[in-house]
Every structure is written in structure tokens, then in C-alpha cells.
Copies of this chain bind each other. A is one copy, B any other.
Amino acid sequence: MTEYLASWNVGPAKSAILGFVETSTAKGPGFVDVADRIATFDNDGTMWVEQPAPPQADFLVRVWAKALKDDPSLGTRQPWKAIIEHDEAFFQGLATQDPEVVASIEGAVATTWAGTTPDVFDAQVREWVQTVKQPKFDVGYTSLVYQPMLEVFDLLKANDFRVFLCSGGGRDFMRVFVEETMGLYKEAVIGSSSAYEYKDGKIVRTDQMLGGLSLGSGKPEHIYAQTGRLPVFAGGNADVDIEMLETARFSLLLVHDDDEREFAYTASAEKAVAKAKQLGWTLVSMKDDWSTIFAH
């Protein structure tokens, strides 16, 4: 397996990943049936940059700022009010799952695209992918996918694992560009989901969600719904990934400790790091374990 994980430095994390995959595919006590080989990965901060804000938040804020220009009366309500007032604390309430913030953003997402066909949303996301640049790196967000994580996908796929992305954010947002950026089909994306109806020969978005938010206990719930299983291998980076990581046999927790090449932060990941140490999850140091950060 020496041809895999080329961007991983020799060290305990690389050894643990290779060791687990070898054990789970070789005859012996650690063998995992091919059918059970499900691997799930959180998205923001696990597969790509989530600072200074999750990419989808950047997308939504731009869509809503534009809507405000067309209809200033929106500005009396959240989340449009927070956009006008540059209220960053409000949007950070999404990461900490402040119920008021989550509800207002869910509500705004619901009304923004209700009654439209998927091509409307898809076109807006594609335009965002092609034009918006992440402030620190001055490139599009999809150029900031972690190369070492894609190499974990390659290793797992080569060993008959089926790899799924389990985003806390919107399933449909990631499905627009996941095929070209992460090499996964749309059906491999799990996440918080809008409900759709089939009407007059067309798929149309409703103002409802299908299931709850894919955060915390919502992650295993969405994974079980999509796959009929819980993961054998899981990767995450934050407290909202704990439940998913708990369900897996091998759990990887990415630590953002490389302020030079990416970002260094521990906010919203303190409990996950404590759990990792307690339960023996594999901690991955971006700084020490990765020789390359980005895929493009």
C-alpha cells in the first residue's frame, strides 16, 4: 500500500490509517465484510477550508445580500439583518448550533428557493464556485480541498470501501460540484436536505426539510437513512462530528494547527479532541502529518 497517502508524512497517523485498512481487508479477526465497508467524512474543515467561515455561509450571505438590494424590507429580520449589520457573531451561532440562529437560517434557506427547480440553485452555486475567492488564499473555495484527504478516499476506494461525504451543511450545495472536486458521485453526498416534490413533470424544491440538520446526532441519522449502515471508517474535525465518529470502528480527527499553510484554531473542536484522546481516535496534525495541503 506504499503507493497511497503520498502527501502524508511518515508518522503515527499515516501508520494508523494504513494499518486499519490492511487489517480490515485481510483475513483475520479485524476483517470487515465488503458490504459493510462504509466510510463517511465530514465536509467543512475535514475536506476543505472552513475559515473564516464555512464556504456555504459565504455563498448564502452573497445570495441574501443581493436579495436585500432588490427588497430592502427583508433587512428587519434575521438573517438579513445580520448581513446589513455585519454581525459575525450571529453567523458563528451556526457552528455552535444556537437554536435561534439555526432556525432563522433554515427558514431563510427554505424560502429563498421554495418553488424553484434545482437548476436555479445549481446555477447560483456554479457562479459562486467560478467567481468568489477565499480571502486568505485568493483562490476559489473548491481549490482548497485537502489533497491528503482525497488520498484517503483513494486508499479506501481501492480497498472496496464506499466513501460518503456527510456534510453538516446542505447536501444539495455540495452535490453541485462534488464530482469534479472530490471524485464522489452526487449520491455519495449526505447532508442537511431540502425536501422536493414532483409536480407537472418537474422536481421542485419545497420550503420544508427532509429530516433534521446533519449535525451531532443528525449525522448518524442521515448516514443510516442513506446507506442502511453506520460507518466503519469516519473522519471529522469538530464537536458536531463526535456522534458520527463514535459509531465508527476507525475514527480520524483532523486538527487545524497550521496557521502558516492553512489556519490554526481549536474553537468548536475542544470536546472532539478530548473524546479522541479518551477513545483512542487517530489525531491528524495538519502541520506535522501533511506534506501538501491543497489538491489544486
A96 is an interface residue with CB less than 8 A from chain B = no
Note all chain B residues with C-beta closer than 8 A to A193: 225
A196 is an interface residue with CB less than 8 A from chain B = yes
Copy tally for this chain in the complex stands at 2
Residue ID in chain B nearest A227 by CB atoms: B187
In the assembly, what is the distance between CA of A202 and CA of B260, in Å? Answer: 40
A135 is an interface residue with CB less than 8 A from chain B = no
Contact between chains at A224 and B246 (CB < 8 Å):
no
Contact between chains at B226 and A226 (CB < 8 Å):
yes
- Given the known A-B contacts A35-B185, A185-B162, are A225 and B197 also in contact in the complex, defined by CB atoms under 8 Å? no
Note all chain B residues with C-beta closer than 8 A to A69: none
Contact between chains at A221 and B198 (CB < 8 Å):
yes
- Given the known A-B contacts A211-B195, A211-B210, A221-B197, are A187 and B226 also in contact in the complex, defined by CB atoms under 8 Å? yes
Interface residues of A in 175-227 (CB under 8 A from B): 175, 179, 185-187, 189, 193, 195-199, 201, 203, 210-211, 217-221, 224-227
- Given the known A-B contacts A196-B221, A197-B217, A221-B203, are A186 and B230 also in contact in the complex, defined by CB atoms under 8 Å? no
Interface set of A (CB-CB < 8 Å, partner B): 35, 38, 118, 162, 171-172, 175, 179, 185-187, 189, 193, 195-199, 201, 203, 210-211, 217-221, 224-230, 243, 246-247
Which 3 pairs between the two chains have the least Cβ-Cβ distance? A186-B228, A198-B217, A198-B220
